Structure 1
Amino acid sequence: MRLKRFLLRYYPPGIILEYEQSEQLKTKAIDLLDLRPEHDPAAVAQDLSMKEPLITKTRIPQVQKLVSKLQEKLVASEDHQFYLFKVLRAHILPLTNVAFNKSGSSFITGSYDRTCKVWDTASGEELLTLEGHRNVVYAIAFNNPYGDKVATGSFDKTCKLWNAQTGQCYFTYRGHIAEIVCLAFNPQSTVIATGSMDATAKLWDVQSGCELATLAGHSGEIISLAFNSRGDQILTGSFDHTVCLWDVHTGTQTTTLIGHRGEIANAQFNFDCSLIATASMDKSCKLWDVRTGQCVGTLRGHEDEVFDIGFNSTGQQIVSASADCTVRIYDAGTQRCVHVLEGHDGEVSKVCFNPRGHRVLSGSADKTARVWDTATGQCLQVLEGHTDEIFSCVFNYEGDTVLTGSKDNTCRIWR
């Protein structure tokens, strides 16, 4: 084994080792999830060298510099204040979703007007309109980290694959017999998964346009899906109150997570894909062990339906959004609620951490989005100006730009 080079991963903190073995180029990730700004970089580098044979003595100074860079990122832009950069009169009907490419240089918007649009983040200019669907474009995604393709899922029961630079439609995937409401690329960008109101999910080949598998087993609509980081497992959340885990290669169901007493609103893997968090209309969230399929904790406290849930980049905290107008932050290890974020006066439908994990963004029916401090639970900013409820909100990879998409037909860029 011969080390070729180091690559940095900022969120979550880590160092990727690129090495050669038997004339093949391979990679290995060293996760530094517990790295803090106060840690001594020299001591961290020394410790890594003792654990990892590829990090020889001569490489320790290089690793020390990389650790310092990661620490700088941890304290950067601590007090970033967002201002309204641009209001995009994006569509002639309400927006459904917004999503960034990996670098944040461009983003997409889906709408009830049957189109998806591609935008330049720096200028706010419209780059492309992706037209062809015959009904609402509800689910949208870039094939991150590459960002050269866009997938759109529609109420017209089809999914389309587009060239993100030219707008060319590569394929129209047909087979669902009801509306497509969620979709995702696998991490390798070779497979698209679509989830539908017909109670099935389907896997499609990006290269050939062929259907690879139909994931049938739920008795209710599938409204959420997510691949694990290796791309060999996918989870589906359904209105039948369950979440299912599937083997991507065989298309077979491997585990069913049973315990909620209401429809599933969202389900997500943590960073290392050892846990799944689920949000439900039964007013609770649950944590599940991926290996055993057992529920390892119930996150209580919300007084109404829970609409959204997500882990921070290290998987150490969980955030949830509810119809009770609050957002809650939980410790994933103890499953204790550490903060109740109060301030919205309408149901909160979307919530997410910034990449660093020290801020939370929430979008609400009260027409505002809010930025919160995860350490104190304080509201740092109210992003006001939309004239109708906010359906979608998201941070870019650097965490210094926010998008909000609203029922008022506009998208706003905040910097």
Structure 2
Amino acid sequence: MNIQGLALHGHMKPVTMIKFNREGDLLFSTAKEPNISVWYTKTGERLGVFNGHSAIAACDVNNYSTLLVTGGMDFKAKLWCVESGDELANIMLKSPARAVGFAHDDSKVMVSTSRKMGEKSAIQLYNLPFAVPKEDYIVQPVKTAFNPCAEFVSESDDITFAVWGPTNDTIYYSMFDGSVAILDVETMRTIRTQQPHEETINRIGFDCNYYTLITASKDKTARLLDSRDMSVIQTYKSDVPVNDAAISPCGDHVILGGGMEAQDVTTQGGQTSFEVKFYHKVHEKQLGQVRCHFGTINAVSFFPDGRGFASGAFDGLVKLHRFDENYEAAPGAKPVWSPESS
């Protein structure tokens, strides 16, 4: 199997997150700089930028690809019109954002913030102040101030990342101590907690059916968890800290991205190549790796069709990788089990 790579040059600072829209024709990328880039994945063309932060940690796009939400390290979250690039709303936060996400019906926005400047880590929910825009509908900017409609404050630890659960009833979040927890949205209380890692979890994400959850940890492993009780199903071992991980939407493949932190490279030795590692989801075996960056990999994501992936790294590059026609014959390309076969 050959993998065709395409480098996207648009960031001068380390890439922090990448996000496909539902159809996979658009890719949004954020970095430790003011600009969010949007790319046309078929050609690699940069369609535009959203400018309004000082440095950005996370982003999410809604189901219709009409709205974009971003979370900044500048104590702000912002809503954008994807079509026009206009800033629609500015949400002032008490501490830097770590994660953002639209609810499944696009009715709410979730913002997770870090513990800093004397403020505790929190997850806040905001109602959208307008009807969810469909295709080709441009929303007008909102002048009123945004206040959270619900809030959860972590008394004990720092929340590192958060995502909506299988429905709008739950939010899953990870913590600095290696724990994962489920938050009940109605009561804004934690209903279950497990600790699958001994060190910090950098990011978490679901498979496309929300049956399993994958964690990426500083302890050099990623773990596949049952989304119901968060018991560990599989463990994928790496030789470097794992910053992000993703589950294929169509095959039994898992990808991991990571590397030594920048401040550790000079003190602990020279890691000169940084690669995305492929694992068999069921058998845990590493199947291969793709050397694609010159800095620590901070973000990985599969195309929604499963026929490729994207990566973003400390070197400021975003790379698109597409599998050729021989992918179907690769180990793990055909899942051992799928919901359709049960």
Question: TM-score when scaled to structure 1?
Answer: 0.61
CA deviation digits over 1:55-101, x for unaligned, max 9?
Answer: xxxxxxxxxxxxxxxxxxxxxxxxxx561421112211111211111
Corresponding residue of 2:3: 83
Q: CA deviation at 1:111?
A: 1.7
Corresponding residue of 1:171: 88
Stretch moving more, 86-95 or 314-323: 314-323
CA deviation digits over 1:126-162, x for unaligned, max 9?
Answer: 11122233x112222212x201232233233333333
Q: 1:267 to 1:110 in 2, by over 3 A?
A: closer
Instruction: Kindly indicate whether the alpha-carbon contact (under 8 Å) linking 1:321 and 1:351 is maintained by their aligned counterparts in 2.
Output: yes
Q: 1:374 to 1:189 in 2, by over 3 A?
A: same
Question: TM-score when scaled to structure 2?
Answer: 0.73
Q: 1:288 to 1:369 in 2, by over 3 A?
A: same
1:146 & 1:170 partners in 2: Cα distance? 17
1:213 aligns with 2:213: no
Greater relative contact order (CA < 8 Å, ≥ 6 in sequence): 2
1:265 aligns with 2:190: no
- State how 1:358-397 maps to structure 2 within 5 Å: 358-366=252-260, 367-397=274-304
Q: 1:274 to 1:326 in 2, by over 3 A?
A: same
Gaps of 5+ in 1: 1-80, 220-237, 242-261
1:355 aligns with 2:249: yes
Corresponding residue of 2:47: 127
Q: Which has the larger radius of gyration?
A: 1
Q: CA deviation at 1:191?
A: 3.8
Instruction: Kindly indicate whether the alpha-carbon contact (under 8 Å) linking 1:288 and 1:297 is maintained by their aligned counterparts in 2.
Output: no
1:413 aligns with 2:324: no
1:274 & 1:396 partners in 2: Cα distance? 26
- State how 1:173-322 maps to structure 2 within 5 Å: 173-197=90-114, 199=120, 201=124, 203=126, 204-206=128-130, 209=142, 210-211=144-145, 213-214=147-148, 238=154, 240-241=155-156, 262-272=157-167, 277-286=172-181, 295=191, 298-300=194-196, 302-322=197-217
Gaps of 5+ in 2: 131-138, 261-273, 323-342
Aligned residue identity for 1:328: R
Aligned residue identity for 2:129: D
Stretch moving more, 305-314 or 90-99: 305-314
1:157 & 1:189 partners in 2: Cα distance? 23
Aligned residue identity for 1:179: P
Q: CA deviation at 1:385?
A: 2.3
Q: 1:323 to 1:146 in 2, by over 3 A?
A: same
Q: 1:142 to 1:287 in 2, by over 3 A?
A: closer
Q: 1:289 to 1:157 in 2, by over 3 A?
A: closer
Q: CA RMSD in A?
A: 3.1
Aligned residue identity for 2:213: I
1:189 & 1:374 partners in 2: Cα distance? 30
1:121 & 1:170 partners in 2: Cα distance? 23
1:273 & 1:359 partners in 2: Cα distance? 27
Corresponding residue of 1:67: none
1:96 aligns with 2:46: no
Aligned residue identity for 2:79: L
Q: CA deviation at 1:368?
A: 2.1
- State how 1:33-182 maps to structure 2 within 5 Å: 81=1, 83-133=3-53, 135-143=54-62, 145-167=63-85, 169-182=86-99
Q: 1:269 to 1:192 in 2, by over 3 A?
A: closer
1:274 & 1:124 partners in 2: Cα distance? 37
Q: 1:137 to 1:287 in 2, by over 3 A?
A: closer
